[in-house]
A and B are shown apart, each in its own frame.
Chain A
Amino acid sequence: MIESRVKEIISRVLNVPLGKVTNDLSSGDIPEWDSVGNLAIISTIEQEMEVEFPLEDLFDLTSVQTIIDEVTQLTTDV
């Protein structure tokens, strides 16, 4: 559930096909996932999935999988 929602948001925000958003895709791998796109992903996930990423963790959110793991951890902690 979390995995599919995160992937759907990344696909929508970057305007790339869902099939391109694989677990090992990292920021910077595709031109669309640039710094502006990364900030948009972070803020959209925070808004739509009602989580707040700790500032110190943002540096490590570098791939689809790390974002999924972080959201999973944040929602489990709550």
Chain B
Amino acid sequence: MYDAPHSPVLCEILRHSTITPDKVALVEGPNRITYSQLVANIEAAARYLCSKDIKPGDRILLAARKEVEFVYLYFAAHLSGVVNVVTDPTSPADRLEYIKDTVKPVAMFGVEGVSGRCISYGGVDWHLEQEEKLYLPRVDSSSVADVMFTTGTTGAPKGVCLSHDNIAGSAANINGFIGTDDGDVEVLGLPLSHSFGLGRLRCILMAGGTIVLVGNFANLKALFSVMENEHVTGFGMVPAVWQYIKCLSGRRIGKFARQLRYIEVGSAALPIEDKHLLMELFPTTRLCIHYGLTEASRALFTELHADADCLNTIGRPVSSRVEVCILDEDGNRLPDGQDGELCVRGNMVTRSYFLPEDNHEAFFGDWFRTGDWGHRDSSGRFYLTGRKKELINVGGEKVSPATIEDAIRSLGIADCACVAIPDPNGVLGEVPKAFLLNKGENLPTVDELKSGLAHLLSSHEIPVEWEWIDNIPRSSSGKIQRLKLKAG
């Protein structure tokens, strides 16, 4: 195996392949891949990239499918100094086209529904390229490893550039807080296209543990069977998944309390009654709740049992390598107790978006601006009080109201506005509601709009409630005043 000093995550995987070569690193369906096999496959995939003349600094588009080939290729790109642009395989075609046009990848893998040649993961045989030479990458650990696209407030997704140092720093922070080690076996049902799920994969492989890939959390019967058969010790979930587990299986998951060492929860707020229930069902499990963004992965953590006296906090900085502060609108530090914008700096914080224009107002010096509002108390705990950005958090998926509004307007509605409302079913936290301008002739019905949107948006972006109104409130500058609609 080639050395990979530019990638601290790969260095750790290499170390495990030397120390515990026969230990299972990855389980996916019938595949049980040991650390030595994982490294051999990563190397073979890197040779394949070389055979296609893909060079350090080039970008490849990867659909984050739950297949071992995705994992090989993802780390092969790191080994070769190639930049991964990780996408959601269920993204609508126009979002994928936008990402493709923005990053101009030299190759696309596992992606469906976009123009250009895509290579399926099953369509390549890495091992045909054994004789191929590897380029030794002329990159260092501050080079970009991954570009992850997040929902932008204005509609267009924003590419977040994460360096090898960023992703390794994040994994080290998280493992340090949670206490993950090489004895852990994690079942991964989170999507790998998101910072949370992909981060869990890196954390476990960096720690030398075993990761069991499952499609998602929909099939709880299968999930519980995996937990039992693989002796799972931990997993990550978003609050919407917890609602789903409660709804479909009641308290049955409690039978795994003794074997589960940790559960990580994040990406949206967990209601206080659910925190109490988790603590009751899992009295000895570390229940780690994170606050973070793709740009500043898991900046804060709270552990429910340890912080039982203060369950409304979003936590303290995850490690000594991370700082969080509250700044006012001019970037001045605010005293404890005063609300302002949460800003983060540290080893996992992005230095730049892919498009330079997206960096406008994203930073105060080296402090990344989260767009979230809150304060710190005198003990150093942080609290969230509001959100400056108008994104709708649908079960952990961030949705831009502007994206939905553009799609609705394209279907013949003169004007509209979307806001977040509480999910009437109590599962997803927030869901979108659309206000439609009741003006014009031959307006489409709501059913026609829903059916039209099914081709333009992801299913979680389609509004759950609809209301016709006579006026869409706008400011003097023409900006939609969504808060007025939200207030009713």
> A: which residues have CB within 8 A of B?
12-15, 26-40, 43, 58-60, 62
Contact = CB atoms under 8 A, between A and B. Distances in A.
Contacts of A27: 218-219
Given A31-B191, A58-B247, A62-B221, A36 B459 contact: yes
Contact of B218 (A13, A28, A43, A60): A28
A26 B427 contact: no
A7 B187 CA distance: 29
B191 A58 contact: no
B240 interface: yes
Contacts of A12: 454
Contacts of B460: 36
A39 B244 contact: yes
Interface string B202-226: 0000000000001111111110000
B459 A40 contact: yes
28 contacts: A14-B459, A26-B219, A28-B189, A28-B214, A28-B216, A31-B65, A31-B88, A31-B89, A32-B459, A33-B215, A33-B216, A34-B215, A35-B217, A36-B240, A36-B244, A36-B395, A36-B427, A36-B428, A36-B459, A37-B218, A37-B459, A38-B218, A39-B244, A39-B425, A58-B247, A59-B220, A62-B219, A62-B222
Interface string B132-154: 00000000000000000000000
B191 A59 contact: no
Going nearest first, the 10 A-B pairs with the smallest beta carbon separation are: A28-B215, A27-B218, A28-B219, A35-B244, A34-B216, A27-B219, A38-B218, A28-B218, A58-B248, A35-B217
Contacts of A32: 90, 459
A30 B215 contact: yes
- Indicate the member of A27, A34, A43 with the most B CB atoms within 10 Å: A34
Interface of B: 65-66, 88-90, 189, 191, 214-222, 240-241, 244, 247-249, 252, 395, 425, 427-428, 454, 459-460
A14 B459 CA distance: 8
A12 to B, nearest CB: 8
Nearest to A60: B221
Contacts of B252: 59
B133 to A, nearest CB: 36
Contacts of B240: 35-36
Contact of B222 (A26, A30, A35, A40): A26
A60 B220 CA distance: 9
Nearest to A57: B248
A62 B219 CA distance: 6
Nearest to B245: A35
A43 B303 CA distance: 35
Nearest to B394: A36
Contact of A31 (B215, B222, B427, B454): B215
Contacts of A62: 219-222
Contacts of A58: 247-248
Nearest to B193: A31
Nearest to A66: B221
Contact of B427 (A14, A37, A39): A39
A62 B460 CA distance: 21
Nearest to A14: B459
Given A35-B216, A36-B460, A28 B244 contact: no
A35 B218 contact: yes
A68 B241 CA distance: 25
A9 to B, nearest CB: 13
Nearest to B63: A31
